[in-house]
Chains A and B, each alone.
Chain A
Amino acid sequence: MKNPDEPLFDEGDIKDGSGATAHRAVRERIQQLADKQPYAVLCVQGEGQPYGALVAFAFSEDLRHAVFVTPVATRKYRLLSECDHVALVIDNRPNKPDELMEIEAVTVTGRSQMIERGGEFDQWAELLVTRHPYLKSFVKAATCALFRVDVVRFLHVARFQEVNQWIPSAHS
């Protein structure tokens, strides 16, 4: 059986069906959403129980990685320690129900990894702090852990049910 986080489709399966142009368009829309929205819902799981929490995030330029930070004395930290399969939901939903068709959302699936201090820590921390300068001392705090999500796929949703997938590793 296929690993659920392995690609389900290859490039030709992209819904728009128009090849490279279409995938660039979706990538741009994902990029736009990731650039505009500072916060995402982080989805984690443990012992059969799903759990969600808001996090401030930043993506690497190639969209292959996202970073976020959490205090260690939290449920999400414990669950992340148990299971590295995660999702991030990023959206631009307004507060008015009649604007449903304006909503764009992207679900990012991937694997999380805690970045130990030293080594690459400063580089990933800088990525997050550049986007969220007010988190500088939070990221530095000894009781906070920095996580990197290695993205497997993006699922972009627009116009209520129009869904496109983009897999960064397939389009380097």
Chain B
Amino acid sequence: MDSERPLLIPLDAPGHWDEQIVGGKAAKLAQLACGGFDVPRGFCLTTWAYQTFVKDAGITAAIRMELGRKSMDDMRWEEIWDAALRIRATFLAQPLTRLLRETVAAGLRGFDTSTPLAVRSSAIGEDSAGRSFAGLHESFIGVRGRQAVEDAVRLVWASLWSDAALLYRKELGLDPAHSRMAVLVQEMIYADRSGVAFARDPRDIGKEHAVIESVPGPCSLLVDGVVDPDHWELDRKTHGIIAWLPGQRNDAEDDAPLLESRELEHILETLLSVEQLFGWSPDMEWTGRSDALTVLQARPITAAALDEDEKRTWCLTLRPGDARLKQLRKRVAEQLIPELEAAGQALAAEELNLLDDQQLADTIVQRSAAIANWKKIYWEDFIPFAHGVRRLAMYYNDAVQAEDPYEFVGLLRNQPLVAKQRNNAIGQLAQQLAANDVLRSAVERLLAQCAGSLHWPTFRDSLMRIADGAENFLRGFDVLNERFLDIVYDQERLHDQPEPMLRNLIELSRAPYASLGDESVAGVSVAALEKRLLDAVGPERRDEALDVIETGRVSWKLRDDDNLLVARLESQLLRALDVAAKRLRAVGRLSGEVHPNDAHVEPLVRALREPTTCPVTLELVAKVRPKDLSKASPGETPRQLIGQPASPGVATGAVRCIHGRGDLGKFRQGEVLVCDAIQPTMTHLVPLAGAIVERRGGMLIHGAIIARELGIPCVNGVRNAAEILKNGTLVTVDGHLGIVTVGAAEFDLELGVECI
């Protein structure tokens, strides 16, 4: 081993406290070990080991390619997560070199093979006095055996590029060429008490108070927020207890404090000794009590670092641990979704015309409040629970180490999504038209006559008169409309606008019927993927794996359903506003033709409640459209746009941009669907599309998953896609490479590529 560039340093080796070599966590623990404090024995794989690994495996270039695909400032959180997942897969795909394996083996020589170990990140500058970046990188506990340690080491290295770290890339100074990470491997210490301690109260650093928190069991229970700790405040000078706040634990054996006063005294003395050693007030993680007290970590107390970027802080909350995910799964699947569904159905059944003005005003207010409440739940529960799919991704990739980091997506097929039930109903109606030429021609003719101003009762009567089979078709359409289209899309109720759906049905009747979840299209079967995972984890972890799969599936189903169910609720508010507007117009108290939307709740409610209110005029609220950020110079045209390869395949076709409801009915079979993002409300168009291009990026967004299920090429994360690409422009979508080539193809598309 090069003594100038050591790959391994034992934790108790004197003088090796250079943070650039061993990282912040290990540097401080090494100092503590040499200062006579009890720390778990172990060793540090230095930053030189990281550099050796990434250089030999060619990973630096892979990271650069991943992060250079698009300006990171333009990436959504989901795209950053995808990039981190692919980087993680790159680290996992590269075995340690012989030298590094020998190094790990040398470090493990002092441990029995069955000894449980902690493999912890020790990044440079992660715990500076100015700011703590705790939680951005990964650590693993209970790791046993050389292979498991090697796997964990690679995952800790990969976490230098975790999604959370990428969010803070500027503050961390992340740079593929220079950033590096050390790894601590330590013996696990199991004790009946653990906790954190602050030499000064982090909420008021000026007070002469220290704070100690304790949980029964390992410290991870406290750090991960799984168990509520007992909390003490102590006087730094007298060591007396100032306050004790017991933790809220359901399984508490009794109400007695977790620590006795002499144990608190011992922790405080240790804390103050650590403070003396370092010269700064520490935030210390510990385990065990009295003489068996072991220091797990010490870093400077940082004042509650408020991130000015609220969105980023919120993103960091989207990574709930397994325990929290399980709680969320129960709450969401068993309580919230049924409640949301029932709320929509109850409101849809309400006969609004029977209400007087005051009652109508009340129901509008109630509906508006219900939507606000459900939107809050959407952000607080539904979106964090969406992490269940990501958890499945990491779990599957860690166990199977599949070459394709998105192989796990196959496990999500065949879920009974609301959108899929809707699409099946649409597919059956399209098949009715396909099987009855007379009926289809009649629908087409009537649609051509109305040209954008379809009057439903007239259409119904005419169709019944001229076509056999119309009654059955219209009955099916009514069911579709009531059950699935009573939703808001683009600030309007689809329920009231049957024309776009009728036009879609005509197109679908001409297209080959494609059912989502068709195994022949989708490749490896769900059962085969499940077996692959279960074989990889072994019988001991079978139940755990099945639980992760189930959480992933429920999470994925929710991710689709919640949008539709909230849209259904919004539709019920618009329905009530429509009734109010019609009522007020009929008596001359509402002027203008503006269609009411949720921005008009207040004036309409006021008018209903106060009959003397002067005639009300609704202000036209402009629909929110993405800004056109493209700054093209004269003569400049895009030739090749890059995004993320979200579904493999290649197809050429004319662009059809979907900006709003008015565009839905214009979509024709074989066109390239270009939009900001495919919403669950418009997934029925996907089977018609030759290819898909989206501005919103991510491998786990609706469009990408459905495109993969149907075998349709999809490129997403294309900046300003719906603004740059114009209707009718010929484009070639390469879903293998994530490229959209603009303009007529002046190349031969070989390899069996079909030009549409």
Contact = CB atoms under 8 A, between A and B. Distances in A.
Interface of A: 71-75, 77-78, 81, 132-134, 138, 141-144
A80 B315 CA distance: 47
B57 A133 contact: yes
Nearest to A76: B747
Nearest to A129: B58
B616 to A, nearest CB: 56
B444 to A, nearest CB: 36
A47 to B, nearest CB: 11
B751 A72 contact: yes
A142 B648 contact: yes
B730 to A, nearest CB: 12
Interface in B546-574: none
Contact of A143 (B58, B65, B650, B745): B650
Contact of B737 (A78, A132, A143): A143
Interface residues of B, number: 23
B62 A144 contact: no
A142 B648 CA distance: 9
B401 interface: no
Contacts of B732: 73
Interface of B: 57-58, 61-62, 64-65, 645, 648, 650, 732, 734, 736-737, 739, 741, 745-751, 753
A138 B732 CA distance: 18
15 contacts: A71-B737, A71-B739, A72-B748, A73-B741, A74-B741, A78-B746, A81-B748, A133-B61, A141-B645, A142-B648, A142-B736, A143-B650, A143-B734, A143-B751, A143-B753
A125 to B, nearest CB: 15
Chain A residues touching B, majority SS: mixed
Residue among A72, A73, A74, A134 facing the most chain B CB atoms (10 A cut-off):
A73
Nearest to A79: B747
A164 B748 CA distance: 38
Contact of A74 (B58, B62, B65, B747): B747
B317 to A, nearest CB: 32
A143 B746 CA distance: 15
A138 B737 contact: yes
Contact of A73 (B57, B61, B65, B650): B650
A18 B575 CA distance: 93
B734 A71 contact: yes
Q: What 8 pairs across the A-B complex have the smallest Cβ distances? A: A133-B58, A78-B747, A141-B736, A134-B61, A134-B62, A143-B736, A73-B741, A134-B65
A134 B62 CA distance: 5
A98 to B, nearest CB: 27
Given A73-B739, A73-B745, A74-B747, A132 B61 contact: yes
A117 to B, nearest CB: 9
Nearest to B736: A141
A32 to B, nearest CB: 20
B747 A75 contact: yes
Nearest to B64: A134
Given A138-B737, A141-B737, A143-B650, A72 B62 contact: no
A72 B747 contact: yes
Contacts of A78: 746-748
B411 to A, nearest CB: 22
Nearest to A77: B747
Given A73-B732, A142-B751, A143-B737, 7 more contacts: A71-B737, A74-B747, A75-B746, A78-B747, A134-B62, A141-B645, A143-B650
